Amino acid sequence: MEENFYKTKNLMEMSDEEWEALCDGCGKCCFRKFIEGHGKKTRLYYTCIACDLLDLNTGLCSDYENRFKLNKECTHLTKKNVKEFSWLPDTCAYRLLYEKKELPEWHPLISKDKDSVKKARIQIKNGIHEKDVEDWEDYILNEENIGGK
């Protein structure tokens, strides 16, 4: 992979390897969200409820290769549909680059440190797996708890 490829290529020009390297491993996309309201009154709520496949310590999928088979709700972010994912956290590299913004200094591609996301406290704290939850409303996060804001 070319160093700083994310500065010289747009998302559509990236190889599969480069596309995958954009993921910082925060795991936020693997936490459940829900939408309330319609139109201008629509509100997106983040929760600390994680997909059961998410390793809450590393922020990585425990079965990445089979995730779509094991979890029918797993979202497949691709070059073709990235524009549909405005719900991605504002720290997400895919969203940032789509919006023509810079990656944050803690992103592993910049810091060259695979633990920089954890050190910067970007991951959602006190995550709980979906299988352990009864009432989702008990797990709604406020913006300060989403991390990286």
Quick count: other Cβ atoms within 10 Å of Cβ 115? 12
Mean pLDDT over residues 2-14, rounded? 95
Residues 6+ apart with CB under 8 A from 115: none
Q: What is the DSSP string of 33-71?
A: EEEESSGGG-EEEEEEEEPTTB-TTT-SBTTGGGHHHH-
- CA dihedral (131, 135, 140, 146) in degrees, to 10, reads -10
Residue 102 reports pLDDT greater than 80: yes
Residue 147 pLDDT more than 80?
no
Average pLDDT over residues 116-133: 93
Rounded CA gap, 54 and 30, in Å? Answer: 7
CA–CA dist 66, 73 (Å, integer): 13
**pLDDT of 73 higher than 80:** yes
Q: What pLDDT was estimated at residue 24?
A: 94
pTM for this prediction: 0.85
The mean pLDDT of 31-51, rounded to a whole number, is: 88
For range 37-58, the mean pLDDT = 90
Query: Which pLDDT value is given to residue 143?
Result: 62
Q: Would you state the pLDDT for residue 144?
A: 56
Instruction: Quickly state the pLDDT bin for 148 (edges 50, 70, 90).
Output: low
Length of the chain: 149
- Helix intervals (H) in 1-149: 5-8, 16-21, 67-70, 93-98, 108-111, 116-119, 143-146
pLDDT of residue 38: 85
Hey, CA dihedral for 19, 97, 109, 126, is it positive or negative? negative
